[in-house]
Amino acid sequence: MNNNRFEGKVCIVTGAAQGIGEGVARAIAKEGGMMVLADRSELVYQVANELESNGSQVLVVTSDLESFGGAKSVVDKAVEHFGRVDVAIHNVGGTIWAKPFEQYQEDEIIKEINRSLYPTLWGCRAVLPQMISQGGGSIVNISSIATRGVNRIPYSAAKGGVNAITVSLAMEHASENIRVNAIATGGTEAPPRKIPRNSNPMTEDEKVWYQQIVDQTIDSTLMKRYGTIEEQVNAILFLASDEASYITGTILPVGGGDKGMGA
């Protein structure tokens, strides 16, 4: 494998403060990428400081990526600092509640869509003009096999939207040398979140409903286990890199054989 796939490339990674986003940022930096780390949490500076101490060029942008203004500020600052954007990996999202659909309140449904659809929608809209003007680029959106699953219907709807955005954008912009792909992540083992998506402790019912998600995920997965962050990162980096130069409009399930609705 080429260990310098991102040498000289300017790479935006959103949601870079923790989890898969942090893993992607560390891996791309290790392969020579110039990093633009975006997150609304100040914790992203800890990741940036570590990467800089290892010799990487890093720009941090703290922004609310649920808004177009926030997404555009990331691209604007990236271009101002580095002059271009070669890779954009849109990673922000994640289910906030775990419950049957009839238990969701209106404001909770709106918050789920805002969290898991808009950061990718706005991120793509913000970076496209720059990639068009410079003659190409690679976008990788992070979706989920949970487009088919239980107890998180609003999240499933949002990730179904991410899949539609990905395929349609690939069709619109292939002639401009812009590749657009997505990874549909499966259940992934990760350290406890530094900032929880839901600050309220789960009720007893919510614990049962969440366990149903875990059980359904493992049951649907041929390998009968959760994946690792590294296994997700490896797939993301492949699609983002020139090794996938003839791949676009593809949603790659990385779920141990559970394809969700991504195949």
Containing structural domain, residue 86: 10-254
Instruction: Give the per-residue pLDDT at 193.
Output: 56
Bridge-based pairing state of the strands 87-90 and 137-144: parallel
Q: Give the residue numbers annotated as catalytic, written as ranges.
A: 155
Residue 177 is assigned to a structural domain of this protein? yes
Domains held by the chain: number:
1
Instruction: Say how many CA atoms lie within 13 Å of 189 toward its Cβ.
Output: 8
User: CB atoms < 10 A from the CB of 146, how many?
Assistant: 28
CATH of the domain at 233: 3.40.50.720
Query: At CA 20, angle to CA 235 and CA 30, rounded to 5?
Result: 70
pLDDT at 263: 47
Strand-pairing partners, residue 10, are: 34
**pLDDT of 31:** 97
H or E stretch covering 165: helix 153-173
pLDDT tens readout for residues 19-42: 999 999 999 999 999 999 999 999
* 261 belongs to a structural domain: no
Task: Specify if 123 maps to a domain.
Answer: yes
Could you tell me the mean pLDDT of each successive run of 10 residues in the chain, 263 residues long? 88 96 98 97 96 96 97 98 98 95 98 98 98 98 95 97 98 98 93 64 89 92 94 98 98 90 55
* Structure tokens, 38: 């975006």
What b/e sequence results for 35-53 when a residue is b if at least 16 CB atoms lie within 10 Å of its CB, and e otherwise? bbbbbbeebbbebbeebee
Q: Does the residue 259 lie in any domain? A: no
- pLDDT at residue 259 in the model: 76
Asked if residue 118 is part of any domain, the answer here is yes
CB 115 within 8 A of CB 93: yes
**Within a domain: residue 42?**
yes
Question: pLDDT, tens digit, for every residue of 229-256?
Answer: 999 999 999 999 999 999 999 999 999 9
Residue at 162 is within a domain = yes
Q: What pLDDT score was predicted for residue 260?
A: 77
How high is the pLDDT of residue 2? 63
Identify whether 141 is part of a domain.
yes
- Please tell me the pTM assigned to this model: 0.94
